[in-house]
């Protein structure tokens, strides 16, 4: 992006990468539970081995729910609204109701709406051109820059 640091939409990763992330959210905890049940973590007693299975299933279900319904992978500014999309859920809000955006160093970004709702978005390192466009479309939105997060030099400059 030589010189053009504005993008009215943001999409996290490729379709294959997003599918792999959703699949991993379901599968990894279940594999962990099965490995614990097989005794790979030094669990010698039967009750300890059996406890790993529901633990893996519950954690897999929670992470799977989050990956499918709660964590957005796409943001778009259009029609004076902010639109977001998760795998099985989408929503939008007027730009006037967007109060702040907080990119986190742990690879997700949080959009805070005026009514307190939060929209979690996958990704942080490549979201800056979108945040620059959001700042231009809705100057009232506070874009936090937490300590420890590397922000591009051009982001702080007015364009």
For the chain, domain boundaries: 11-69, 74-155
CB 122 within 8 A of CB 13: yes
Token readout for 116 is 């307190």
Per-residue pLDDT of the chain (159 residues; tens, 9 = 90+): 445 677 899 999 999 999 999 999 999 999 988 888 888 888 788 888 888 889 889 999 999 999 999 999 999 999 999 999 999 999 999 999 999 999 998 889 999 999 999 999 998 888 999 999 999 999 999 999 888 888 888 886 554
DSSP H stretches of helix in 1-84: 15-37, 46-65
Closest CA to 114 of 100, 99, 134: 99
pLDDT at residue 2, rounded to an integer? 42
- pTM score over 0.85: no
The Cβ of residue 25 has, within 10 Å, a number of other Cβ atoms equal to 20
Kindly give the pairing relationship between strand 108-113 and strand 98-104. antiparallel
CATH architecture type of domain 74-155: Roll (2.30)
């Amino acid at each position: 992006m030589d010189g053009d640091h504005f993008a009215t939409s943001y999409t996290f990763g490729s379709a294959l990468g997003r599918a792999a992330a959703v699949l991993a959210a379901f599968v990894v905890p279940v594999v962990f539970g099965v490995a614990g049940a097989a005794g790979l973590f030094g669990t010698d007693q039967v009750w300890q081995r059996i406890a790993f299975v529901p633990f893996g299933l519950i954690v897999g279900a929670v992470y799977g729910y989050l990956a499918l319904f709660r964590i957005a992978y796409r943001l778009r500014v259009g029609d004076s609204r902010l639109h977001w999309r998760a795998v099985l859920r989408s929503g939008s809000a007027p730009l006037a109701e967007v109060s702040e955006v907080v990119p986190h160093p742990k690879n997700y970004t949080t959009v805070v709406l005026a009514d307190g709702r939060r929209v979690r978005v996958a990704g942080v390192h490549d979201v800056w051109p979108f945040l620059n466009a959001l700042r231009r479309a809705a100057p009232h939105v506070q874009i936090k820059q937490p300590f420890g997060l590397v922000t591009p030099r051009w982001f702080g400059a007015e364009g």
